[in-house]
Amino acid sequence: MKLIFVYGTLKRGCINHFRMEGQEFAGDAQTGPGYVLHDVGGYPGMVPDPAARDGVSGEVWSVDAECLAGLDVLEGIAEGLYGRRAVELKEPFAGRHVEAYFFLESVEGRRRLGGAWSE
């Protein structure tokens, strides 16, 4: 099982949440400063941003290997759209190894969403 931080369409009540079926919700979460969301085509992309003070809100899920493989496909890992790596979260997840999907393409010219996204 792996802990994954989700901040967009995979959250509860959102269009791709069905992909989390059978996985365990660990709790609501907030990143530390240094991360921000951009609109990357009708869904958010999280990128590092040293100027971002508020962080990003989302959820942490404990997912199994099968679910993780499906999420990697959805997020376009093989195509280089997103990359999955560790993210720093505030309590109660501080100090725990949690991964998130980071948008890898340029966000230049894309609308900055700040720290929260909803459909």
The confidence score (pLDDT) of residue 23 equals 98
In-domain check, residue 90: yes
Residues 88/32, Cβ–Cβ less than 8 Å:
yes
Residue 119 predicted with pLDDT over 80: no
- CB count in 10 Å sphere of residue 23: 18
pLDDT band at 64 (very low <50, low <70, confident <90, very high): very high
The confidence score (pLDDT) of residue 27 equals 98
Q: Which domain holds residue 79?
A: 2-114
The total of structural domains in the chain comes to 1
The confidence score (pLDDT) of residue 42 equals 86
- Across the range 20-31, mean pLDDT stands at 97
Max CA separation in the chain (angstroms)? 38
The confidence score (pLDDT) of residue 35 equals 96
In-domain check, residue 88: yes
In-domain check, residue 7: yes
Q: Could you tell me the CATH number of the domain that includes residue 41?
A: 3.10.490.10
pLDDT band at 30 (very low <50, low <70, confident <90, very high): very high
In-domain check, residue 119: no
